[in-house]
Structure 1
């Protein structure tokens, strides 16, 4: 069996689609003749935790852990224990001078990201490991893009075939635009990115738009390797869509923040159902920012019709899906919005629940939804369309989506694509 070293910052008990992507690849790789070995921090700084994901990692999977030092540990000494990362500061309406200084330092001194201090010691540690193990390939996944610099260092030392997986862009990533980068810092990001593009044996990313952008920047062929769903995650005898009787149940799962805005949906929902208190309930499963929570709590109708259970485990999310008549998808309305394909989209489609989405009707996620026949996508400002879509969902009880089309996004089928990519990288 071939062995592959996978370098990732996010690993259980961390939560999120980036974790699930490589946990699922790790699960299915042995079925295709590849034994994964994971390299991840021993003491990472995670914002969200989901210990249930640890159960999905086979006891036979070797996980190498190595200590990491991150500047957030120092910054929290001054700002308080609850600070997890820069995104907390960026959500604040009136950041303090120290907040603004922290963001500037994050953007201009910690390049490509605060995990940069893990690169050199990790390369040294892993170079010795590679000498003692018969690895056939190396995989790095980012962000954080420092993981790719570890891959670059190992490539230079060992010559092993290296696949760089981009879950988000690098130099064109919209997040960088929030960090007040100087032109010098921006050019340094681009310089590091070019070295990774040039030295990696294979490149892959999660959406057609990101693929096209990376091919333009790199001058190389970039493979499309989307996220997907695992049939094993769906509860056995998952209930079909039930007719909406007294209450129309709509569920959203994931983060609600400054770039994922549910307000247009909330206002459309209130406009239709505001006169009848018993017809609809929206459940926002996950982390919701203070602005939206305040809006809901201060509006009596929304407060009565929007349920906020908070963050739940990945397994528990499917219990909410099972009770839903429809699933809400909120896509970003930002520079990278066209290439934004949330990992939960594929799980949404696997449930058969109709999807109602806010986002770019021409974006990559919208194309998947329409090709699957899984639902409809409305611009954030298309109030009339959104109202129509809500009305149609209330009148329908049928499942949505082509099962044959959706199966192409099963984690096992996607792992087969990954293995083909690895084999080509070795041959090349």
Structure 2
């Protein structure tokens, strides 16, 4: 069952939309640029993952600005973060235009946002990956019972392997969005000329979005903000140091040079955690840095299902890569099932939804087999966003992994808390993920604290705990409330105050 489920068909994330808002006392004009089906950052030749990046222009009433006395803003943004923010900015009276590679051909309007299609070009790397994945040309992988290879940070690269790695990186630098950088820049430049914005915001990853914004703003006196949802050239979390992008000398050299080109050229930087903001201020003391945490769009999230999975339904919805490890959860699950046989008889199961890197897949198979958990672990592969959320809604415990993530908080934490699903964050020490989990009312366990994870499973099984009902949590996790702060930041006002 486990092996068969690992071969599940891959899907893609989807987002729903609502009708636009008619009242517009202020206007936000945006263009959004996104790339679809791009391999995950740092994994050359790996399975594809959808990425989004966008470019937006807006205007707000002011005593300065264009001829009509209105300030205008162009934002290069991405992912669920800015899908939620622009939606609620529209409800505050902003109007948005989005140019994206992910949308169908033509133009559509939703949530006060106009979306236009801007397809990405096919690149040499696309051809290379297509040739590698052709039937009969794929390399034969190791069997499920064979020892799995070491990650790159532990393996000694010979000169042949090093040359192959650098050649692979040469095909994909600066990242897998390279096929739409020039198209996005051209579209954004035309939009800026038409809108005459007062500011531009670019958001990544993919960090090639910042290059598109840099090109689009050359020769124009426009305020430009860079939104870094994840670090670019640094600081690099330990969980990424085994990735091909970090191991490649070419990739690291180019990322550093491009970051040093982009950030000093911008008028400011936005990031997602206080720790990341402090590191950026130390690296670029002359650049203004603000931090705006992620959140969730509660309107697009399902309620907890009235039809939960039998037994104790546990879910991990996310990618397994880098230092992320479900081993502690599996060990705790084995101990829990041994102490509570009725839970095993009633269908307790850990369900995994998301892409699993080959190294992690082999390690997971070995761990599951060694602990006799074949009947209690199931992988659904990569699901659509709707299917993944429905899987979470039927579960009684959700797992968030944040091993060695010194600068970031997994965005899924906000969605799980907003759905009122009891959530366990597996992370060490005083990391940003641990502090945010405590602030939001989630449970925290260190990666080596198997007993604490088992106690949480037991408490849920025996009905001793449920999701927190603190009404303040709704304000802390909803993009509706985050949008007001972002509106002040975009307008050039002080938006750094953040309740703890």
Is the aligned partner of 1:79 residue 2:132? yes
Alignment partner, residue 281 of structure 2 = 215
CA gap of 1:151–1:425, structure 2 versus 1, over 3 A, is: farther
Is the aligned partner of 1:342 residue 2:342? no
User: Quick one: which of 368, 381, 386 aligns to 2:436?
Assistant: 368
Alignment partner, residue 193 of structure 1 = 259
Is the aligned partner of 1:3 residue 2:28? yes
Alignment partner, residue 375 of structure 2 = 304
Matches within 5 A, 1:10-49: 10=35, 15=50, 19-41=79-101
- Between the aligned partners of 2:191 and 2:422, the Cα distance in structure 1 is 48
Is the aligned partner of 1:68 residue 2:121? yes
User: Quick one: which of 427, 448, 468 aligns to 1:381?
Assistant: 448
Task: Name the SS of the counterpart of 2:483 in structure 1.
Answer: helix
Alignment partner, residue 152 of structure 1 = 214
Task: Name the SS of the counterpart of 1:156 in structure 2.
Answer: coil
Normalising by structure 2, report the TM-score. Answer: 0.70
Q: Which moved more, 1:274-283 or 1:105-114?
A: 105-114
**Structure 1 residue 324, shift from structure 2 partner:** 2.0
**Structure 1 residue 185, shift from structure 2 partner:** 5.5
Alignment partner, residue 350 of structure 2 = 282
CA gap of 1:257–1:56, structure 2 versus 1, over 3 A, is: farther
Q: After superposition, what is the alpha-carbon deviation per residue over 1:297-320, rounded to whole angstroms, capped at 9, x for unaligned? A: 645831111232333222233322
CA gap of 1:8–1:292, structure 2 versus 1, over 3 A, is: farther
Alignment partner, residue 132 of structure 1 = 194
Alignment partner, residue 47 of structure 1 = none
Q: After superposition, what is the alpha-carbon deviation per residue over 1:328-357, rounded to whole angstroms, capped at 9, x for unaligned? A: 112233xxx122311110111112222222
Is the aligned partner of 1:261 residue 2:325? yes
Alignment partner, residue 93 of structure 1 = 149
**Structure 1 residue 249, shift from structure 2 partner:** 1.7
Unmatched runs of 5 consecutive residues or more in structure 2? 1-25, 39-48, 53-77, 136-140, 142-147, 495-500
Task: Report the count of equivalent residues.
Answer: 401
**Structure 1 residue 232, shift from structure 2 partner:** 1.1
- Between the aligned partners of 1:116 and 1:217, the Cα distance in structure 2 is 26
- Between the aligned partners of 1:283 and 1:192, the Cα distance in structure 2 is 40
Relative to its length, the structure with more helix (as a share) is 1
Task: Name the SS of the counterpart of 2:447 in structure 1.
Answer: coil
Is the aligned partner of 1:202 residue 2:255? no
CA gap of 1:223–1:296, structure 2 versus 1, over 3 A, is: same
- Maintained 8 Å contact 2:459/2:465: no
CA gap of 1:235–1:398, structure 2 versus 1, over 3 A, is: same
Task: Name the SS of the counterpart of 1:163 in structure 2.
Answer: strand
User: Quick one: which of 309, 315, 319 aligns to 1:251?
Assistant: 315
- Maintained 8 Å contact 1:42/1:68: no
Task: Name the SS of the counterpart of 1:356 in structure 2.
Answer: strand
Task: Name the SS of the counterpart of 1:301 in structure 2.
Answer: coil
Unmatched runs of 5 consecutive residues or more in structure 1? 44-50, 83-87
- Between the aligned partners of 1:128 and 1:170, the Cα distance in structure 2 is 27
- Between the aligned partners of 1:295 and 1:177, the Cα distance in structure 2 is 21
Q: Which moved more, 1:248-257 or 1:11-20?
A: 11-20
- Between the aligned partners of 1:343 and 1:69, the Cα distance in structure 2 is 30
**Structure 1 residue 165, shift from structure 2 partner:** 0.9
- Between the aligned partners of 2:172 and 2:351, the Cα distance in structure 1 is 38
Task: Name the SS of the counterpart of 1:282 in structure 2.
Answer: strand
